[in-house]
Amino acid sequence: MWAHTKDLKEEMRISTMETLSGTIEDYPDYYDIIFGTPRFEPGQFNVKTECEFLDEIFEHYNIKSVIELACGPAYHAVQLAKMGYETAGLDISVPMLKFAEKRAQKEGVTLRLYHQDMRIFRLTEQYNAAICVLDSLRSLTEAKEILSHLKSVASVLTEKGIFVTEWSHPRDWIGERTVEDSWTAGKGSITVEASVQSTMTDVEQQLTTDILEFIIIDGENQYKITQEDEKRLILPQEFLLFASMSEFEFISFYGAYDTLIDLKNPNAWRTIAVLQKV
């Protein structure tokens, strides 16, 4: 009875909060708290660890310049710039790009930014490597969008350039989920709670729906943001087919930001693909 009463009180608390329009990406400061706060347990995202992995990959290919696609606040581009790479970021969200610019200035690094759509883009500059991480690839829900994206990536890479992209592990949908569905982070007087409910909504088209809810406690103010994102379940074998149709050859798969963990490893929790432009 106590648990039921507690749940009811929580529902009432949330229902009385002010609802903010748009998505979490429209509120970069809140986004930064919930997604930018480092987490150190296995199976959690950590930009520093991820960039150390990327650096290990890049060392084999003499990479000097990197562009982060669907960069958001450009966490990885900024960190790689601090490690000595020439970096850039591309995103469709103006608030995110403005936040990325401020973040780069605060960290004392140079970051070139592009306001374009990851589905199809063209740049006059080229880079030795491109990265697309944090499940951004799954936002491409149609095969033609994935192909257009890969062809766009190839167009901005130099000869023999490297593309590293990362998305959820198949085990998330075939068996037990490996990514946490709720977490909390805070900074100063602001606390953000996030929860994600993912459902397979179209097996034939491999589509899932993520319902994300963010509860924000900002001093004496309380807000909530609810958004619904449609994504595609991308399996490794179909990704290889898309890559072969888009000026890329396959180098390797990893199951975590660790070169010793492959997709079959019991500790694997992500799908990380490394491709090379041909």
124 lies in some domain: yes
The predicted pLDDT at position 2 comes to 43
- 116 and 177 assigned to the same domain: no
Parent domain of 135: 47-170+235-277
Strand order in the sheet with 127-132: 111-115, 86-91, 65-69, 127-132, 157-168, 270-277, 248-254
Q: Judge if 181 and 56 occupy the same domain.
A: no
Q: Fill in the DSSP letter of residue 20.
A: P
**Cα R_g (the chain), whole angstroms:** 19
pTM of the model: 0.90
- For residue 171, the model assigns a pLDDT of 86
pLDDT at 256 over 80: yes
- Listed residue (66, 69, 30) closest to 167, CA to CA: 69
Instruction: Lowest mean pLDDT of 63-72, 195-204, 209-218, 233-242, name the range.
Output: 195-204
What is the pLDDT at residue 199? 86
Q: Kindly state whether residues 190 and 159 are assigned to the same domain.
A: no
Longest Cα separation, the chain: 65
> pLDDT band for position 203 (50/70/90)?
confident
Which one has a higher pLDDT value, 36 or 240? 240
The CATH number of the domain holding residue 117 is: 3.40.50.150
**Region 43-52: what's the mean pLDDT?**
87
212, 231, 250: which is the final residue of a domain?
Answer: 231
Residue-wise pLDDT tens digits, 175-193: 555 555 789 999 999 999 9
Residue 72 lies in a domain: yes
Question: Residue 172's pLDDT is what?
Answer: 84
Above 80 in pLDDT, residue 6? no
Buried b (16+ CB within 10 A) or exposed e, 224-249: bbeeebebbbbeeeebbebbeebbbe
Rounded to an integer, the average pLDDT of 247-260 is 97
Number of domains in the chain: 2
